[in-house]
C-alpha cells in the first residue's frame, strides 16, 4: 500500500513538473551543408526521367530508408542501393563494433535541382532535418544525374545522433565533413575513408584569409551567415576533427565517449585537451592539408530487395508538403498549397493531415478533427496516434495512444518518448526509463525529450546521471532553449533532493 502511495505521489509530481506543450515547429532542429561542399560522388545509369504513375513519383522502401522520388525507376533503385552501401560504409568505418541505429530514415530525392529550389533552404544542395514526431528526413536533388557528396554528409549527421545525441556545432559539422569522404567500391566490396576532399583543398585560402582558429571554432554556436565565413567554418571544423582523429586518437576517443554519456562537452574537452593551448593546435593543423591518412574495410554484401510502389497524386502532394516543412518559416504558402491539393483528392492523406497539424495555424477543434481523421485512415501509423495523443488531456487516453504508436513503430523516437512521459505519469518508472533511453537517441534531443529522460533517470534513483543529462542539455542549448533546459535541470535536482534512494519522499531537502 505504501509503495502504491509513493508511486501515486511520484506520478502526480511528474505531471505537475512536466512540460505539456505540444511539439511545435519552433522546437525542430536542422543541419544542412551549403552547396559549396557538394560534389559528384558516383555516376548513375538511366538518368532520364520516367513516369510510373499519374504523379510521376514512387516510393521505395529498403531496410533502413523510405525513399520518395520522381527520378526514373532504374536510377531510383540504384540510388536506394547506394544509400544502403553508404550507410553500411559509414557505420563500419566510423562506429565499428557498435550497436547500429535500428530506425528507418525518410529520404526525398528530386530528379532536377530546379524542382528542389523551393524546398531547400538558401543555397543548400542537401539537408538533414530532425523534426519530431516525424522520422529523420534527408532531402536533396540530383546534380547533373549524379548523387551529390552532400548526401554522405547529411547521412553522417543522421547516424551520429544515435551515438552522441548532444554535439557541439564544430564537432557535428567537422565529423560529418570528414565522414563525407567515404567511398565504396561495389566491385571489391571495399569502403575507404579519410582522403582530403578536393573542395576542402580549394577553400584553404578562404580558411586562412578568414582566420578561423580553434578558439573561434570552439566558441561557435551558429553557422556563420556569410558564404566565405561559412566555408571557413566548415574547413576549420574538418581540420580540427581530422587532426584530433589522427594525432590525438585516445583522448579524442575519450571525448566522444563522454558525449555519449551526456557529459557536457566543454567539461569533456577540458578533461582531455585542457592542457593543450589552442594556439598549439592551430600550428599543428597548418600541415594537415598536406597529409592523407586513409582507412579501408571490406563491407559484407547484403541482399538488396526494395519494395516499390507508385505514389498517387494525393500522396505526392502530401510528400511535397512534408518536404516543404524544412523551410516552414518562409514556405507556409507552399505547405498550404500542397496540403490543399492532397486533401482535395484524398481527405485523409496522412502527410497532408500531419503537415496541417504541425506546420499551419489551426484551432483546438481543427487539430482534434485532423487527429481523428488520421487515426481513422491510418491506424497502423505511429504518427496518427501521436497526433491523437496531443489533442487529449485525459491521462488514460494519452497512455493508450502512445502505446499504440510504439506498437505501430517500435523505433519511432517520438513514440518512445511519448510513452515514457505517459509511463512516468502513471507511476511506471522502470518502463519509462527503457523508453526514454531509446527515444533520446532515435530523435532530436529537444528540451522536452531530455527533460523526460532526466526525470526518468532520477525516478529510478540514478540521480548523478540525471543531473549529467540536464547539465549537458543546458550547455548545448541555444539561447532560446536555455530557459527550458534550466527547468529540466531543476526538475531533476528537485526530484533527487526530495527522494531517498529507495524512492521514498524525504521530509525536507538534505
pLDDT for 417 equals 97
Give me the residue spans of the domains in the chain. Answer: 1-23+375-510, 196-293
**Confidence label for 498 from pLDDT (cuts 50, 70 and 90):** low
Least confident of 43-47, 149-153, 168-172, 356-360: 43-47
Q: Is 98 exposed, middle or buried (0-12, 13-18, 19+ CB in 10 A)?
A: exposed
pLDDT mean over 269-292: 85
The predicted pLDDT at position 492 comes to: 54
Q: Which three cell numbers stand for residue 420?
A: 515514457
Question: 282-291, 296-305, 311-320, 492-501: lowest mean pLDDT where?
Answer: 492-501
What does the pLDDT read at residue 63?
A: 94
Average pLDDT over residues 296-300: 82
Residue 13 is predicted with a pLDDT of 43
Query: How does residue 298 score in pLDDT terms, banded at 50, 70 and 90?
Result: confident
Residue 258 has pLDDT above 90, yes or no: yes
Looking at the predicted structure, is the pLDDT value of residue 482 above 70? no
User: How confident is the model over 444-472, as a mean pLDDT?
Assistant: 84
Position 204 scores a pLDDT of: 63
pLDDT at 487: 60
Peptide bond preceding 133: is omega within 30 degrees of 0, i.e. cis? yes
Q: What dihedral do alpha carbons 200, 204, 208, 214 form, nearest 10°?
A: 30
Q: What are phi and psi of 359, to 5 degrees?
A: -115, -10
pLDDT at 18 over 60: no
SS3 30: strand
pLDDT single digits (tens) 337-386: 999 999 999 999 999 999 999 999 999 999 999 999 999 999 999 999 99
- Mean of pLDDT values over 51-55: 55
- The C-alpha angle with vertex 266 and arms to 264 and 267, in degrees rounded to 5, equals 65
User: What are the backbone dihedrals phi and psi of residue 256, each rounded to the nearest 5 degrees, phi first?
Assistant: -70, -35
Q: Which fold has domain 1-23+375-510?
A: 1.25.40
CA-to-CA distance for 81 and 76, rounded, in angstroms?
Answer: 9
Looking at residue 475, its pLDDT comes to 64
Report pLDDT for 399. 96
CA-to-CA dists, residue 296 to 22, 51, 56, 191, 239, angstroms? 45, 39, 39, 5, 20
Beta bridge partners of 309: 59
How does strand 295-298 pair with strand 190-193? Answer: antiparallel
pLDDT of residue 412: 96
pLDDT per residue as tens digits for the range 194-219:
887 766 766 665 555 556 789 999 99
Q: 333 vs 50, which has greater pLDDT?
A: 333
User: Please, which pLDDT band fits residue 241 given cuts at 50, 70 and 90?
Assistant: very high
The DSSP bridge partners found for residue 109 are: 69, 140
Instruction: Look at residue 272 in the predicted model and tell me its pLDDT.
Output: 97
Angle at which helix 332-345 crosses helix 350-359, to 10 degrees, equals: 150
Nearest by Cα to 405 from 124, 132, 170, 154: 132
Amino acid at each position: 500500500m505504501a509503495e502504491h502511495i509513493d508511486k501515486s505521489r511520484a506520478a502526480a509530481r511528474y505531471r505537475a513538473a512536466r512540460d505539456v506543450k505540444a511539439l511545435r515547429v519552433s522546437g525542430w532542429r536542422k543541419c544542412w551543408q551549403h552547396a559549396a561542399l557538394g560534389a559528384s560522388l558516383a555516376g548513375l545509369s538511366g538518368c532520364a526521367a520516367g513516369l510510373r504513375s499519374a504523379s510521376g513519383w514512387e516510393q521505395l522502401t529498403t531496410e533502413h530508408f523510405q525513399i520518395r522520388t520522381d527520378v526514373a525507376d532504374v536510377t531510383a533503385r540504384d540510388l536506394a542501393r547506394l544509400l544502403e552501401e553508404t550507410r553500411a560504409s559509414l557505420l563500419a568505418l566510423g562506429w565499428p563494433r557498435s550497436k547500429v541505429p535500428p530506425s528507418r530514415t525518410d529520404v526525398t530525392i528530386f530528379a532536377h535541382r530546379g524542382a528542389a529550389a523551393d524546398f531547400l533552404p538558401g543555397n543548400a544542395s542537401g539537408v538533414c532535418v530532425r523534426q519530431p514526431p516525424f522520422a529523420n528526413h534527408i532531402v536533396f536533388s540530383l546534380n547533373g544525374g549524379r548523387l551529390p557528396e552532400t548526401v554522405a554528409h547529411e547521412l553522417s549527421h543522421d547516424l551520429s545522433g544515435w551515438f552522441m545525441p548532444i554535439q557541439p556545432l564544430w564537432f557535428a559539422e567537422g565529423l560529418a565533413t570528414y565522414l563525407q569522404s567515404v567511398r565504396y567500391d561495389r566491385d571489391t566490396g571495399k569502403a575507404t575513408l579519410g582522403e582530403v576532399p578536393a573542395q576542402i583543398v580549394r577553400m584553404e585560402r578562404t580558411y586562412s584569409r578568414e582566420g578561423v582558429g580553434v578558439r573561434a571554432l570552439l566558441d561557435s554556436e551558429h553557422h556563420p551567415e556569410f558564404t566565405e565565413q561559412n566555408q571557413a567554418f566548415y574547413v576549420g571544423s574538418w581540420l580540427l576533427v581530422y587532426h584530433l582523429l589522427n594525432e590525438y586518437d585516445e583522448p579524442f576517443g575519450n571525448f566522444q565517449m563522454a558525449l555519449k554519456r551526456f557529459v557536457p562537452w566543454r567539461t569533456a574537452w577540458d578533461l582531455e585537451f585542457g592542457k593543450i593551448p589552442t594556439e598549439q593546435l592551430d600550428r599543428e593543423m597548418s600541415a594537415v592539408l598536406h597529409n592523407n591518412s586513409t582507412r579501408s574495410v571490406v563491407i559484407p554484401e547484403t541482399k538488396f530487395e526494395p519494395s516499390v510502389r507508385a505514389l498517387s497524386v494525393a500522396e505526392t502532394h502530401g510528400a511535397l508538403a512534408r518536404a516543404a516543412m524544412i523551410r516552414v518559416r518562409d514556405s507556409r504558402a507552399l505547405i498550404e498549397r500542397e496540403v490543399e491539393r492532397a486533401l482535395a483528392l484524398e481527405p485523409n492523406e496522412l502527410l497532408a493531415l500531419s503537415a496541417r497539424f504541425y506546420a499551419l495555424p489551426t484551432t483546438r477543434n481543427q487539430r482534434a478533427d485532423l487527429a481523428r481523421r488520421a487515426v481513422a485512415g491510418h491506424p497502423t501509423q505511429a504518427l496518427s496516434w501521436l497526433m491523437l495523443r496531443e489533442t487529449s488531456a485525459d491521462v488514460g487516453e494519452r497512455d493508450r495512444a502512445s502505446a499504440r504508436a510504439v506498437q505501430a513503430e517500435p523505433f519511432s523516437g517520438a513514440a518512445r518518448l511519448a510513452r515514457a512521459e505517459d509511463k512516468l505519469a502513471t507511476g511506471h518508472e522502470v518502463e519509462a526509463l527503457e523508453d526514454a533511453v531509446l527515444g533520446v537517441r532515435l530523435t532530436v534531443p529537444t528540451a522536452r525529450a531530455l527533460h523526460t529522460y532526466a526525470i526518468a533517470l532520477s525516478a529510478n534513483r540514478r540521480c548523478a546521471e540525471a543531473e549529467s543529462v540536464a547539465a549537458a542539455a543546458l550547455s548545448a542549448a541555444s539561447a532560446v532553449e536555455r530557459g527550458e533546459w534550466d527547468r529540466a535541470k531543476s526538475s531533476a535536482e528537485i526530484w533527487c533532493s526530495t527522494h531517498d534512494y529507495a524512492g521514498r519522499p524525504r521530509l525536507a531537502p538534505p
